[in-house]
Amino acid sequence: MKIWPSKISLNENEVHKHFLVSPTGGFTLTEVIIVSVFISLMAAIAIPTYLKWLPNMRLRTAAQDLRANMQKTRFEAIQQNQSFAIVFDTVNNSYFICSESGDGDWASLGDNTKVERIELANYKSGVQFGYGEATMKATNSGGAFSGGSDFISYGTVGNSIKPLVFNSRGTGSAGFVYLEHEDNTTSYALGTLVSGVIRVKKWVGTGWD
């Protein structure tokens, strides 16, 4: 039969040796400096990458929202059995979802019944109408841009007003809207067919994907 000692006594050195307890606690100055340098290096690498990524993220969000608003406008036209339109205002870098044309051709924003206004400036990073570095149109036939305000192909009905109209059957205008950001390196093309089908394309350097 083994007899266990009633008390186990360890001196301070034994505790440090067996349990790796730091006699001083906390961090040394050297350790703090090393960690600080490491964090600074990581920030120096990450921040430029983040700043380069941010405009693309905001542009993609604007494109996704425009696509969702196209779908919403088409759905409302079918559900309410009347024409709805997205009216693009290139001068003010915005677009409106409208339920009534007022003047019959959507040309006068003041006469239209506006459901919602979307300002591209709210996305920041210089998101605006434009085709960036794209060198050809997003249509199946392609072709070069003619320059100027060729970044909305739904046709002009008054000054800078360009409407995408969906009728009660869900069909409507055919064309494309192009979006870019301040660096002009990335662009999206959002378009519709006469059938009402919505398409989204991204410029990938040599063509639309």
Instruction: Tell me the CA distances in angstroms from 96 to 15, 88, 99, 196, 205, one per residue in order.
Output: 73, 7, 10, 18, 31
Q: Is the pLDDT at 12 greater than 80, yes or no?
A: no
Token couple for 39: 């964090």
Where b means 16+ CB within 10 Å and e means fewer, 61-89 reads: ebbeebeebbeebbebbbeeeebbbbbbb
Q: Which residue is associated with the tokens 């494109």?
A: 63
Query: What confidence score (pLDDT) does residue 48 get?
Result: 65
Residues 6+ apart with CB under 8 A from 166: 73, 74, 77, 78, 83, 84, 85, 172, 173, 196
CATH of 29-202, one of 3.30.300.10, 3.40.50.11260, 3.55.40.10, 3.30.465.10: 3.55.40.10
Most distant CA pair in the chain, distance:
107
Model pLDDT for residues 86-104, shown as the tens digit of each residue: 999 888 999 999 998 877 7
In the sheet with 128-129, reading across from the earlier edge strand, the strands are 128-129, 175-180, 187-192, 198-202
Q: What is the pTM of this model?
A: 0.75
pLDDT over 50 at 139, yes or no: yes
Question: What is the model's pLDDT at position 178?
Answer: 95
